[in-house]
């Protein structure tokens, strides 16, 4: 599959790149996409949620009612989980680990499946490598507009780390910028337009090698 290389003005440079079939021409596999997205979302959870148990509740320790003669069960403390405002039985504790492990081959197949789906939809664009002299959100926004990606979720995939480009795009709510070696299946699926810098194609091939 070949795509024209665009410049920052959104016009063709006269060059084209060949997208390898082993990355952009893979048969759809919904199950590996599910596993990769499940892992990504699970790994985002901090696991710092906490609920107070009976011993951690600050409340009166007086006996609520007399022990016998009420016709109901004994009750000795408002801290009991049976009462509103009482402690929770076996509540969540901090430092719970929700992370999920996934085989490298499964993760690689999931990324290829996601990229192949975007290629089939025609949602992939290739732009020549660019940079800025200094971080400028307005200049980056102009590039997004020229590529007809404004108003939609755009994922920019860079070949190498470029601080000025990263800082220029981080204030745009619908733009996401990542390196080719770090891009995840979730980020690809979540984007409406995937924009590769020219050098990112080679970096992507290396990560799949």
Residues in CB range of 199: below 8 A, 6 or more apart:
129, 158, 159, 160
What is the per-residue pLDDT across 136-189, written as a single tens digit (0 to 9) for each? 999 999 999 999 888 889 999 999 888 999 999 999 999 999 999 999 999 999
Whether the predicted pLDDT of 118 surpasses 90: yes
193 in the same domain as 145: yes
191 in the same domain as 144: yes
Burial class (CB in 10 A: 0-12, 13-18, 19+), 111: buried
Angle value at C-alpha 57, between 51 and 59, nearest 5 degrees? 150
Domain count, the chain: 2
Q: Say how far apart CA 125 and CA 31 lie, in whole Å.
A: 26
198 in the same domain as 168: yes
Give residue 87's pLDDT: 92
92 in the same domain as 124: no
DSSP 1-63: -EEEEE-TTS-EEEEEEEPPHHHHSPPP-HHHHHHHHHHHHHHH---------GGG-----S-
Whether the predicted pLDDT of 207 surpasses 90: no
Element (H, E) at 150: none
Q: Say how far apart CA 188 and CA 104 lie, in whole Å.
A: 17
176 in the same domain as 118: yes
Q: Say how far apart CA 22 and CA 32 lie, in whole Å.
A: 16
What pTM was computed for the model?
0.81
Q: What is the CATH number of the domain that holds 175?
A: 3.40.1370.10
């Amino acid at each position: 599959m070949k795509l024209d290389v665009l410049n920052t003005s959104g016009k063709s440079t006269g060059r084209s790149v060949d997208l390898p079939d082993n990355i952009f021409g893979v048969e759809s596999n919904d199950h590996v996409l599910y596993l990769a997205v499940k892992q990504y979302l699970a790994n985002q959870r901090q696991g710092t949620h906490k609920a107070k148990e009976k011993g951690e509740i600050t409340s009166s320790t007086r006996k609520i009612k007399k022990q016998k003669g009420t016709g109901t069960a004994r009750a000795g403390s408002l801290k009991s989980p049976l009462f509103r405002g009482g402690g929770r039985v076996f509540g969540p504790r901090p430092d719970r680990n929700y992370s999920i492990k996934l085989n490298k081959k499964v993760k690689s197949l999931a990324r290829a499946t996601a990229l192949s789906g975007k290629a089939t939809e025609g949602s992939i664009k290739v732009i020549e490598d660019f940079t800025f002299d200094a971080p400028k959100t307005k200049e980056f926004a102009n590039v997004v507009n020229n590529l007809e990606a404004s108003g939609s979720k755009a994922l920019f995939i860079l070949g190498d780390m470029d601080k000025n480009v990263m800082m220029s795009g981080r204030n745009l709510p619908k733009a996401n910028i990542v390196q080719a070696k770090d891009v995840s299946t979730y980020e690809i699926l979540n984007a409406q337009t995937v924009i590769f810098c020219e050098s990112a194609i080679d970096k992507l091939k290396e990560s799949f090698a």
